[in-house]
Amino acid sequence: MKIFVVNTGSSSLKYQLIEMNGEEVISKGLVERIGTEGSSMTYHVKGEKRKIEKTIPNHTDAIKLVFETLKEDRVLTDISEIDAVGHRVVHAGEKYSGSVLITEDVVNALDECSFFAPLHNPPNIKGIRACQEVMPDVPMVGVFDTAFHQTMPDYSYMYALPYELYEKYRVRRYGFHGTSHRYVSQVAMELLGKKESKIISCHLGNGASVCAVLNGKSIDTSMGHTPTGGLIMGTRCGDVDPALIPILENVEGLSAKQIDDIMNKKSGMLGVSGISNDFRDLENAFHEGNRRAKLALEMFDYRLKKFIGAYTIAMGGLDALVFTAGIGENDYETRYEACKGMEFMGLYLDVEKNKSVRGELAEISLPESKVKVYVIPTNEELMIARDTLEIVKSIQAVKA
Ligand code: ADP
């Protein structure tokens, strides 16, 4: 069975074609600058990386180009060989706590959730529409970033704002990166050999979040109503005193839009260091003695440690700490700093092993460590494909 996994942004479309028999990625690629000048498609096929530069006016044309290319490369003889499509959708509000078969009702519900994620849901819906146009008879499944966190209890997801704001606008914490946290925590449970477990998953990329996974379920996560909350990120501030917003309005004369821009695009590691949002640049600058790069890194590590501490207490202990995404998978210095001084709770990092691990699945704690520490490369596309397969199979079973 072949599953096509799609992740659309406002001007981009990422895809993977996965043969589920063996879970092999047959082709993957990225269409960029859709609808603007300089659009292109970069893709990997048969071990080669290729690039096509041409005008791509909209997402439907992007999908058509992907399929033309797959046919030219003889990866597919016909589109009808695609059995199902899995779509990554950012926000499903309180509507869906798991992946679902996409119907008109589902698209309408996701459209309503555009209120929560105005930058993400509209392009995700465009991607669904584009695929429906090109493959009208192929079943499609929506997999949501927020869904995994729908198991958070109310005392964890509510803000201490007037309750009417929740009733009127569903103002609450939703959390994101759910597909990634779900994937890596599943792998961690397999490694631990038990589902009854206390796991903290640290998804540390340009966007970053921590998740407390108790017995396979998310009970807390660091991002909030939007992805701006929680950890310090590449360009996002994470948690700040909310009363700073009216203060900034007054002292700097900034509009809500300008403050939003500052907090999402000009803050975080970039804002503090004044150098870069990329940890590689920051660590180079730190080793050359740059004071603000050092400060940004120390702030990041300290905030991360506080979340790990809080979630360990919230779960009443910890079986495994997991690192994933760009920084989590590659940056041994951040992993070292996060694990430093945790011997009191039975966490012993294998310092030498940690240094050598980059982008691969590994246990980086010492054998005697009560708390296991894992590096688990995330694979959101595979998780989307697995959900899609499961839902499509269950529908076929009902029909049979
Ligand atoms: P996102 O998907 O949120 O854009 P990624 O998970 O791809 O982010 O992570 C990107 C970040 O990972 C980069 O900005 C950089 O900070 C960090 N990163 C990637 N490779 C390395 C590395 N070898 N060492 C340290 N940090 C790295």
55 Cα: distance to centroid of ligand 1 (angstroms): 30
Regarding pTM above 0.85, the answer is yes
**Segment 54-62 mean pLDDT:** 94
Distance separating the N- and C-terminal Cα atoms of the chain: 17
| Ligand 1 atom closest to residue 206's alpha carbon, by position in its atom list | 3
- Nearest CA to 26 out of 10, 2, 49 is that of 2
The residue whose CA is least distant from atom 14 of ligand 1 is: 278
| Domain at 2-144: CATH architecture | 2-Layer Sandwich (3.30)
CA torsion sign for 186, 192, 194, 198 is negative
- Tokens for 213, please give them: 């996974």
Residue 111's pLDDT band, with cuts at 50, 70 and 90, is very high
Whether the pLDDT of residue 399 is over 80: the answer is no
* Residues with C-beta less than 6 Å from any ligand 1 atom: 205-207, 234, 277-280, 325-327, 330-331
Whether the pLDDT of residue 395 is over 90: the answer is no
The residue whose CA is least distant from atom 7 of ligand 1 is: 326
Instruction: Report pLDDT for 10.
Output: 87
Among 331, 378, 381, name the best residue to mutate to test ligand 1's pocket (greatest count of ligand atoms within 8 A of Cβ): 331
278 Cα: distance to centroid of ligand 1 (angstroms): 7
Residue 12's pLDDT band, with cuts at 50, 70 and 90, is very high
The residue whose CA is least distant from atom 13 of ligand 1 is: 278
Instruction: Report pLDDT for 157.
Output: 98
CA torsion sign for 310, 314, 318, 320 is negative
329 Cα: distance to centroid of ligand 1 (angstroms): 8
Whether the pLDDT of residue 54 is over 90: the answer is yes
Burial class (CB in 10 A: 0-12, 13-18, 19+), 248: middle
* Cα–Cα distance, 88 to 394 (Å, whole number): 20
* Cα–Cα distance, 367 to 363 (Å, whole number): 9
Domain map (residue ranges) of the chain: 2-144, 193-380
Residue bearing tokens 């700093």: 337
Q: At what angle do helices 380-399 and 178-192 cross, to 10 degrees?
A: 90
* Cα–Cα distance, 10 to 199 (Å, whole number): 34
* Range name among 41-50, 84-93, 135-144, 180-189 with the lowest pLDDT average: 41-50
Contact criterion met (CB below 8 Å) for 308 and 300: no
Residue 372, C-beta contacts closer than 8 angstroms, at least 6 positions apart:
188, 191, 192, 319, 320, 321, 363, 365
Residue range 216-248, pLDDT digits in tens: 999 999 999 999 999 999 999 999 999 999 999
Contact criterion met (CB below 8 Å) for 136 and 79: no
Say whether 83 is catalytic. Answer: no
Residue range 274-308, pLDDT digits in tens: 999 999 999 999 999 999 999 999 999 999 999 99
Contact criterion met (CB below 8 Å) for 246 and 341: no
Q: CATH homologous superfamily of domain 193-380?
A: ATPase, nucleotide binding domain (3.30.420.40)
* Cα–Cα distance, 10 to 35 (Å, whole number): 9
375 Cα: distance to centroid of ligand 1 (angstroms): 14
Same fold for the pair 2-144 and 193-380: yes
**Segment 347-365 mean pLDDT:** 98
Instruction: Report pLDDT for 141.
Output: 98
Contact criterion met (CB below 8 Å) for 213 and 201: yes
Share the mean pLDDT of the chain. Answer: 96
Instruction: Report pLDDT for 265.
Output: 95
Residue 398's pLDDT band, with cuts at 50, 70 and 90, is confident
| Ligand 1 atom closest to residue 203's alpha carbon, by position in its atom list | 6
312: helix, strand or coil: helix
233 Cα: distance to centroid of ligand 1 (angstroms): 11
| Ligand 1 atom closest to residue 325's alpha carbon, by position in its atom list | 6
The residue whose CA is least distant from atom 2 of ligand 1 is: 205
Catalytic residue among 145, 319, 331, 350: 145
